[in-house]
Amino acid sequence: MVFHYKALSKTLSLLYLFTFFCLFKLYSFQVPLEERPEYFFADLLNVLKDLGNNSPVLLDKEFDLEIAVANHLEAKSEQGFRVGVNVFGHSIHEDRPNEDFTHRFRTLNQIYLRKPVYHWGALQAREEIGSLNKQWTDRSLSYRKRSLSSELRAIFLELVILNYRSQVAAEQIKIAQGNLKSAQDKLNVGMVTPLLLDEVKAELLNREISLSEIKILLKRKLSTFVSLSGHSNSLNLSISEKFWNFASTHEPDTNFPVIVGAINSAEIENLNTQIFIENQRIIISDAELKPKINLVGSYFQDQIDTAKSGDSVDRNNFLVGIEGNWAIWDSRKSLAQKKASLARKAKLEHSINTKTRALRDHMNTIVTELKSLKERIILGRKMVSVSQSRLDKSKLELELNRISPMDHFNSVVAFDLAKISNLEAVCNYMVLLNQYENLMDSD
């Protein structure tokens, strides 16, 4: 009956895993290559390729993995043989009855062997803890590399936008400087008022201040990018024609199913790992006050007196046997350890429920934002088109002297802002799309 129950339980477990695997494969998601930032920016692609070799953030994780591997090996070795050698050297002064003092120097040797045989699963549990920590550290390194790649993609796109904004601001400053010179010339002949000249000066100062702030942000973001990636070479942040075409014509997809069972979270996986570890610690606590059995063996020398004289005889001895140890009472230390593990396990299970709900809400928020960004991109493209038409008409009006240079400058600024706004919406969409992929990807 027990055999049939175990077989049925194993079959149901395999069926559950198979169903989950099929469900995940059905709803897995991967960002198309042509929607990734590195598809348009070669420098970003090179940074992501060399991330494992250059990033100081990942180097810390690799050290953690080496430590976890060593800890696992240490826990595993507790179940193996322990062999040692003891060497004794001493001076003996013997006072034998009816004889003079005898003084001798002696050296004795011992080789011993010890191996745990049965410890109620405690040693296996320690090895399992080491194995779980090693596996999680390895997975954590993979998670961190993926999250760092996403973070660098987002920062790189911010750098691209800031660099473009600085170029636009520099062009606007040139136009504002031309407007200022023109206003000064017209003021000299009485064609404009001093008030208009002050307005032109203020506009030029605003553009210069804006450029200065953009450069500060650009340096700050670039410093963050370098510290995270370890990439010290200069970056090409220019926007290619291919990316402009993508931002102007690509139709974003908004079909994003939210399947919570397939959502991938490093935090939740870590909590599950910690629960498994607490289960192993409970096994260790239960084994503390149970008898343990070890295999022992040794070769050693000792000395006995002879029966007919005051001399001694050295003996070589071989010993093989079973050793039993039983800790009867530990002042409830093991019980306290078990209670602490049970409490930590309950807390971790509660955290999983909380994190799962938060993750579901986060996923829904991302999907909602992706759909909103699609509408925002469509509207932004219309705004660019309208601003372009306005700018073209403004040029004609300026040539016919129907509008002032300041009015034309406002049309230039409006067109630049429309392009920047649409570019930001497209970049935000790419960043959120990458986040969605990370949550749905289990590799």
For residue 3, pLDDT beyond 60: no
Q: With pLDDT > 90 as the criterion, what percentage of the chain qualifies?
A: 53
For residue 415, pLDDT beyond 60: yes
Q: Which of 90-104, 124-138, 236-250 has the lowest average pLDDT?
A: 90-104
108 is a domain residue: no
298 is a domain residue: no
Residue 400: C-alpha distances to residues 357, 392, 396 (Å): 63, 13, 6
- Taking only the tens place, the pLDDT of each residue in 22-32 is 433 444 568 88
The DSSP result for 394-408, as a single string, is: HHHHHHTTSS-HHHH
pLDDT of residue 132: 93
Residue 230, Cβ density class (10 Å: 0-12 exposed, 13-18 middle, ≥19 buried): middle
- Taking only the tens place, the pLDDT of each residue in 237-246 is 999 999 999 9
- Taking only the tens place, the pLDDT of each residue in 314-325 is 788 888 889 888
- Which residues is 322 bridged to in the sheet? 295
pLDDT of residue 238: 95
For residue 418, pLDDT beyond 90: yes
d(CA 57, CA 74): 27
- Taking only the tens place, the pLDDT of each residue in 177-208 is 999 998 898 888 888 889 989 999 999 999 99
Alpha-carbon torsion 15, 17, 20, 26, what sign? negative
d(CA 205, CA 207): 5
Residue 195: C-alpha distances to residues 201, 203, 343, 411 (Å): 10, 12, 75, 21
Pinpoint the alpha helices (H) of 230-302: 241-249, 266-287
pLDDT of residue 6: 44
Are 256 and 436 a contacting pair, CB within 8 Å? yes
- Taking only the tens place, the pLDDT of each residue in 94-123 is 666 666 666 666 677 888 888 999 899 899
11 is a domain residue: no
pLDDT of residue 313: 74
97 is a domain residue: no
Q: How far is CA 240 from the centre of its chain?
A: 31
98 is a domain residue: no
Backbone angles phi, psi at 284, to 5 degrees: -65, -40
d(CA 427, CA 153): 10
Confidence of residue 11 (pLDDT cuts 50, 70, 90): very low
Question: Quick one: tokens of 237?
Answer: 């942040």
Q: What is the mean pLDDT of residues 78-87?
A: 87
How many CB atoms neighbour CB 387 within 10 A? 22
Q: What is the mean pLDDT of residues 338-353?
A: 94
318 is a domain residue: no
Q: What is the mean pLDDT of residues 246-263?
A: 73
Question: Quick one: tokens of 358?
Answer: 């938060």
pLDDT of residue 319: 85
190 is a domain residue: yes
Burial annotation 397-434 (CB, 10 A radius, 16+ → b, else e): ebeeeebbbeebbebbbbbbebbbbbbbbbbbbbbbbb
The DSSP result for 168-223, as a single string, is: HHHHHHHHHHHHHHHHHHHHHTTSS-HHHHHHHHHHHHHHHHHHHHHHHHHHHHHH
Query: Residue 383 sits in a domain of what CATH number?
Result: 1.20.1600.10
d(CA 114, CA 82): 5
- Which residues is 87 bridged to in the sheet? 109
pLDDT: which is higher, 332 or 262:
332
- Taking only the tens place, the pLDDT of each residue in 280-290 is 999 999 998 99
Q: What is the mean pLDDT of residues 357-382?
A: 90
d(CA 152, CA 440): 19
pLDDT of residue 422: 95
Tell me the pLDDT of the chain averaged across its residues: 85
Domain tally for the chain? 1
Q: What is the mean pLDDT of residues 346-359?
A: 91
Q: Which of 339, 362, 356, 147 is nearest to 271 (CA)?
A: 356
DSSP 8-state class, residue 98? T
Q: Which domain holds residue 423?
A: 30-83+122-290+336-440
